[in-house]
Chain A
Amino acid sequence: QVQLVQSGAEVKKPGASVKVSCKASGYTFTGYYIHWVRQAPGQGLEWMGRINPNSGDTNYAQNFQGRVTMTGDTSINTAYLELNRLRSDDTAVYYCARDRTWFPFDYWGQGTLVTVSS
């Protein structure tokens, strides 16, 4: 069965970086995009960007350009989200999700809470 399993919760200080992982199983990792979506406490869903694990090509939302890096390791079927220069308003649950071209997100990770606090 398809699973996306994310790394555990993180607590970071302002200005630091965080790296969240998303391990895929049950399907061909290189056949689907991996997207990252975040949700601040009590707020809506915000798309951050995506990676094509097959090519390594990425597309980032304008709000995160210059501060985010998405990578993938096809040898262990794992995608990564790195967010730099953290601020308190980056406190959120970060989700990974998969899709294919012209299809919506059909599987999601369980979410990773990142707390940014001094």
Chain B
Amino acid sequence: DIQMTQSPSTLSASVGDRVTITCRASQSISSWLAWYQQKPGKAPKLLIYKASSLEGGVPSRFSGSGSGTEFTLTISSLQPDDFATYYCQQYNRYRTFGGGTKVEIK
């Protein structure tokens, strides 16, 4: 099975900050990586697919990069609506999620 390791697990930041979350795969997944945002009591929402492609309707302050085993999600200028938990997911073979990163208000 492919394991996904996300870091950090919690991140404290302020509105306007640049935020970076890292995801590492236990083996190469090419670019078959997605990022989701989840708010309490809601289903996850797709932000990024194929490592760096922005889903329609997602603000351009979100961006993704990486390939192989190392990936990052960047929020260029954190907005109040962005305080949430973020998950990476590989879809190279079956599906696996990272452990999540909770972005909190500093």
Contacts and interface: CB of A to CB of B under 8 A. Distances in A.
Interface of A: 35, 37, 44-47, 50, 59, 61-62, 95, 97, 99, 102-106, 108-111
Interface residues of B, number: 20
A105 B46 contact: yes
B91 A44 contact: no
A66 to B, nearest CB: 16
A68 B38 CA distance: 26
Given A45-B44, A61-B1, A99-B91, 13 more contacts: A44-B99, A45-B38, A45-B89, A45-B97, A47-B95, A47-B97, A50-B94, A62-B1, A97-B43, A102-B32, A103-B91, A104-B49, A110-B43
Contact of A59 (B38, B55, B94): B94
Contacts of B38: 45
B43 A95 contact: yes
A102 B91 contact: yes
A47 B90 CA distance: 11
A37 to B, nearest CB: 8
Interface string B37-81: 010000110100100000100000000000000000000000000
A97 to B, nearest CB: 8
Contact of B43 (A46, A59, A108): A108
B34 interface: yes
Nearest to B49: A104
22 contacts: A37-B95, A37-B97, A44-B98, A44-B100, A45-B38, A45-B100, A47-B95, A50-B95, A59-B94, A61-B1, A95-B43, A103-B91, A104-B34, A104-B46, A104-B89, A105-B36, A105-B44, A105-B89, A106-B46, A106-B55, A109-B43, A110-B43
Contacts of B89: 45, 104-105
